[in-house]
Structure 1
C-alpha cells in the first residue's frame, strides 16, 4: 500500500507539494480577522485584499520547493524583505520562509543551506529591531533556536537522502558486478572446457580417421598394413580415453579419483535425501503424479538440481534449517520444487559460487527453466520446469 502511495506521489509531485501547504493556508484563514483590523507596534495593519495577496505571494512559491528550492527561497525572502521595508507587520504566512529554508537545506549543497540559514537569521534580527521596542538577548536566542530547528532538520534530511541514494547506487553496482562476474565466469569456464576438449579430442580423432581410411584401402591388398593401422587406431583411442579421463579429473573440485559407477538418477534421490538427513538437516521428500521413465540425461539433471539446492541449504540456511523437496510428474513436464526455511536473503552469498549458474545451464540443455529466489519472511526456493523429451 505504501508503495502505491509513493508511486502516486512521484507521479503527482506538484499536487502533493500544493497539498503540503494546506496547514499554512488554514492558519492564515483563521488569523484573517486578527491581522486585518489591528495594528502592532511599529507596523500598520492590512486590509483583506492586501492580506490575501501577501499571503499568496509567500505561500504559492512553496509549490516549487522541491523542483527549484533556491529560486523558491529567493522569491519568498525578497517578499519578506519588501514587507519589512514597507513596515507591514508579520503575518502567519511569513512562516513560509522557514519552510523554504528547510527545502534548501534538505535538497541543496551545504553552501546554499548555510546561505539560506544566514538570510533567515538576518531577517529575524531585522524584524526584532523594527517591531520590538527593545531587543532583548533572550528574544534573539529563542528566535535563533526557532531558525536552527528546521535548518538542522533539513541538513539531516539531506544527509540521510544522500546516504540512501548511495546505498541504492552501491546495491545496483554490486548487482551489475555480480551479473558481470557470473557471465565472465561462465564464459571462461566454457572457453576452458572448449580448449581442453579441442586439445584432447581433435588430434586423436583426426589420427583415428586417417588410419581408418588407410586401413579401408589396404585391407584387400596389404593385410599387414591394415593390421598396423588398426593397432594405431586402438592405441590412439586408448590415449584419447586417458586424456578425457584426465580432463574430467581436472574439472572435479573435490580432488577424488574418477569412479566408474553409473550416473545417478531419479531412483537415487531417496539415497541423496537420506545422506542429507544423516548430516543433521531435516528433509521432506515427496513425489506426485504418475511416474514415467525419463532419459538418463534428464534424470541426472533432476538429481544434480536437488543435490545443489540441498547443498546450498546446508551452506547458507543456518542452524536448524529444514528443507522440502517436491517432485511432480505433470503431463509432458516434470516440476521440481526445493524449499527451505533458512536465512534466505539474509544469508551471505559467495562471490565465486557458480552453483546456480551450473543449475540453470543443465536445465537449459533440455529447454527447461529455473527460478531461484528468497522467500518472503525467510527461506529460499528453487523451482524447475523440465519438459519431458520425446524419448520418454
Structure 2
C-alpha cells in the first residue's frame, strides 16, 4: 500500500521522460538569436526528441542521439542539448549489458575527443577533455549502479517470495504430518480399548449365570478400560492445546507401561508374557511411545483374530544403540488378512501405521506367519538419530 501511495505521488514515466527534451528546446529558443535558431532548433530536436523512448529502446535511442551529435559536430554548432548524449549513455548502462555499455561509452568518448579537438581553446586541450571524460565515466557508472541495484532488488524479492512459498509448504507438510500422527494415535487407542472391552463383555455375558463374581470383575475391568481410553485420548489431544494440565499429569505411555498392558490383555482373555531386557532409561520418550504402540497394536490384532486358547509373548531388548521388539503368538494359524487394512481404507491404520512408526527410527517392520504356526511381528528401532521423526 505504501508503494502504491509513493507511485501515486510521482509523475508518470512518459511525462518525466518528456520533461528534459522540452526544457532543452525551450533553452535553445531563449539563448540563441537569429540567424542560428533554425539550425540550433533542428539539431536540438534531433538530439532530444528520441529521449522519451529511451527506456523502451535504449540502444536505438542512443544511436539516434549519437548520429545527431555527429551531424552537430560536422555543422560546428555547440548546444546545451549535448547533455542528451550523456542521458542516452546512462540509459544504455542502466538497461543493457556490459558489452553495450562499453560500446556506447567508447562512442561518447570518441565524440568527446573530436569536440575537444575542434572547440577547445588553443593550448588548453587537456583540462576540458579530462573534465568531460570524467562526466562520461560518471554517467556510465551511475547507469551500471542502477542496473546492479535493480538486479539485486529483484533477486532479493524473488528469494523472499521463494522463502515464503517454502514456509507455506513446510507449514502444510507439518499440518499433514500432525494429522497423520493424531489419526494413528486415535486408531491405536480406540481399536485396542474397544477390542479389550468387546472381549471382556463377551466374557461377562458368558459368566453372568455360572460365575457372577467373574462377570462382575469383567464389568469392572470394562469400566476401567473405558476410563483408560478416555484418558489416553485426552492425553494425545492435550498436546495440541497450550497449558493443557492433563498432558502433564498423565505422561505418554512407554516401555514401563508394557506390564500394565500385558495384564490388561490377560484379563481380556489373551495370556501374554512380557520380557524386557536392558535399561530403557536412556531411550527417548518418543521411541518409548513407539515401542508401546507397536506392542499394543500387535497384541490387539492377536486378540481380535487369533482363536481362543492362543497365548502371546512380548520381548523387548534395549541397548545404547537400538531397541528390538518381538511380539509372537502360538495360534494354530496366522491371523486372517483382515489384520492388514483393505485397499480402500485410509493410510496410517493397522500394519501400515506400525510400519510408519518403525520407519521413523529407521526400522523395518516384519509381520507374518511363523514356521511353527502363529503370527509374529518384529522390528529394530535405531536410537542414533532418535527423535528425527515424530512417532
Q: TM-score range by the shorter chain?
A: 0.5 to 0.7
Query: What is the aligned partner in structure 2 of residue 6 from structure 1?
Result: 7
Q: Match for 2:159 among 150, 165, 170? A: 170
1:65 CA drift (Å):
1.8
**1:309-332 Cα deviation digits (max 9, x unpaired):** xxxxxxxxxxxxxxxxxxxxxxxx
**1:217-271 Cα deviation digits (max 9, x unpaired):** 75887675865753553353355346446636877899997238xxxxxxxxxxx
Q: Distance in 2 between matches of 1:231 and 1:67?
A: 86
Structure 1 residues 171-320: aligned runs within 5 Å: 171-209=160-198, 212=201, 214=202, 227=216, 230=219, 233-234=222-223, 236-241=225-230, 243-244=232-233, 247=236, 258-259=248-249
Query: What is the aligned partner in structure 2 of residue 79 from structure 1?
Result: 68
1:198 CA drift (Å):
1.7
Q: What is the TM-score normalised by the length of structure 1? A: 0.52
Return closer, same or farther for 1:7/1:175 CA change in 2, 3 Å cut-off.
farther
Confirm or deny: 8 A CA contact 2:90 2:139 kept in the other structure.
Answer: yes
For residue 67 of structure 1, give the secondary structure of its aligned residue in structure 2: coil
Query: What is the aligned partner in structure 2 of residue 128 from structure 1?
Result: 116
User: Which structure 1 residue ranges, 5 or more long, are not aligned?
Assistant: 38-45, 261-392
Q: Distance in 2 between matches of 1:148 and 1:92?
A: 19
Structural RMSD (CA) = 3.7
Q: Match for 2:87 among 72, 93, 99? A: 99
1:144 CA drift (Å):
0.8
1:67 CA drift (Å):
1.9
Q: Distance in 2 between matches of 1:28 and 1:206?
A: 99
**Pairs aligned (count):** 246
Return closer, same or farther for 1:234/1:157 CA change in 2, 3 Å cut-off.
same
Q: Distance in 2 between matches of 1:9 and 1:210?
A: 80
Q: Match for 1:161 among 150, 154, 158? A: 150
Query: What is the aligned partner in structure 2 of residue 108 from structure 1?
Result: 96
Q: Distance in 2 between matches of 1:72 and 1:209?
A: 88
Confirm or deny: 8 A CA contact 1:104 1:113 kept in the other structure.
Answer: yes
Query: What is the aligned partner in structure 1 of residue 46 from structure 2?
Result: 57
Return closer, same or farther for 1:248/1:18 CA change in 2, 3 Å cut-off.
same
Confirm or deny: 8 A CA contact 1:24 1:92 kept in the other structure.
Answer: yes
Q: Distance in 1 between matches of 2:14 and 2:20?
A: 10
**1:285-338 Cα deviation digits (max 9, x unpaired):** xxxxxxxxxxxxxxxxxxxxxxxxxxxxxxxxxxxxxxxxxxxxxxxxxxxxxx
Query: What is the aligned partner in structure 1 of residue 297 from structure 2?
Result: none
Confirm or deny: 8 A CA contact 1:9 1:16 kept in the other structure.
Answer: no
Q: Distance in 2 between matches of 1:116 and 1:253?
A: 65
Return closer, same or farther for 1:208/1:128 CA change in 2, 3 Å cut-off.
same
Structure 1 residues 370-389: aligned runs within 5 Å: none
Q: Distance in 2 between matches of 1:158 and 1:129?
A: 33
Q: Distance in 1 between matches of 2:100 and 2:137?
A: 15
1:74 CA drift (Å):
1.7
1:126 CA drift (Å):
1.5
User: Which structure 2 residue ranges, 5 or more long, are not aligned?
Assistant: 251-391
Q: Distance in 2 between matches of 1:239 and 1:217?
A: 22
Return closer, same or farther for 1:238/1:47 CA change in 2, 3 Å cut-off.
closer
Confirm or deny: 8 A CA contact 2:40 2:77 kept in the other structure.
Answer: no
Q: Match for 1:138 among 110, 119, 127? A: 127
Max Rg structure = 2
For residue 14 of structure 1, give the secondary structure of its aligned residue in structure 2: helix
Q: Distance in 2 between matches of 1:17 and 1:55?
A: 16
Q: Distance in 1 between matches of 2:182 and 2:199?
A: 25
Query: What is the aligned partner in structure 2 of residue 26 from structure 1?
Result: 26
Return closer, same or farther for 1:125/1:26 CA change in 2, 3 Å cut-off.
same
1:79 CA drift (Å):
2.1
Q: Distance in 1 between matches of 2:8 and 2:56?
A: 17
1:185 CA drift (Å):
2.4
Q: Distance in 1 between matches of 2:129 and 2:41?
A: 29
1:120 CA drift (Å):
0.8
Return closer, same or farther for 1:24/1:192 CA change in 2, 3 Å cut-off.
farther
Q: Match for 2:136 among 132, 142, 147? A: 147
For residue 248 of structure 2, give the secondary structure of its aligned residue in structure 1: coil
1:169 CA drift (Å):
2.8
Return closer, same or farther for 1:4/1:242 CA change in 2, 3 Å cut-off.
closer
Return closer, same or farther for 1:146/1:226 CA change in 2, 3 Å cut-off.
same
